Amino acid sequence: MSHRTFDDVIVGETIDCGTNAVTRAEITSFAGEYDPLAIHVDAEAATASPFGGLIASGIHTFGLTQPPVVDHFYGDSDLIAAGRMEELWFPAPVRPGDTLHVTLEIEDKRVSETNDERGVVTARRTATVDDELVLSLRNHTIWRR
C-alpha cells in the first residue's frame, strides 16, 4: 500500500484488512490482565456458562481487529488519531482457534468543523468468523488535510 492521504479516501470503498487468529493462551493471558471474568480465564467455569466454553473478552476482540486495520489502511496514512467510536457491538463470541476476518467500509468523510486543516473519516469496522459477525463499530478518525 502506498501512502494514503485524506483525499485518497473514497466514500463507499470497502477495504479487506485480512485476518487475525486467536489462541486459547492469548484469550486467557489478555483476560487475566485486563478482563478477568471467569468466561475468559477459567475453562471449567466457562463450560458451565451460557456460552458453553471459553470466549475472548470483547475488549480483546476489538484489539485483535486493530493490527489488520493498521496494516491495510491506517499504517501509512495521514491519520492523526481516533476521534470517536460508536455503535460497538459484539453479536457473537470469539472462541479459541477462531480466525477473524476484518473489513472497513468508508461511510463518510468531511472537513473538520473546527479546523479546516483536518478531515474526519467515518468507517464501519466489522469482523467475522466463518461469515458470522462477531464485531461491528463505527469509527470517526481525524486526518491531516
**b (16+ CB within 10 A) / e for 87-126:** eeebebbbbbebebbbbbebeebeeeeeeeebbbbbbbbb
- What domains does the chain contain, in order, with CATH numbers? 6-144 (3.10.129.10)
> According to the model, what pLDDT value does residue 125 have?
98
Please answer whether residues 76 and 132 qualify as being in contact, where contact means their C-beta atoms are separated by less than 8 angstroms.
Answer: no
Q: Give the pLDDT band (50/70/90) at residue 4.
A: very high
pTM: 0.92
Q: What is the mean pLDDT of the chain?
A: 96
User: Which helix (H) or strand (E) segment is 45 a member of?
Assistant: helix 43-47
> According to the model, what pLDDT value does residue 15 have?
96
Q: DSSP for 57-77?
A: -HHHHHHHHHHHHIIIIITTB
> According to the model, what pLDDT value does residue 2 have?
85
The pLDDT of residue 51 is above 70: yes
User: Tens digit of pLDDT for each residue in 12-45?
Assistant: 999 999 999 999 999 999 999 999 999 999 999 9
User: Tens digit of pLDDT for each residue in 53-88?
Assistant: 999 999 999 999 999 999 999 999 999 999 999 999
* Residue at grid coordinates 464485531: 135
> According to the model, what pLDDT value does residue 1 have?
57
Q: DSSP for 119-140?
A: EEEEEEEEEEETTEEEEEEEEE
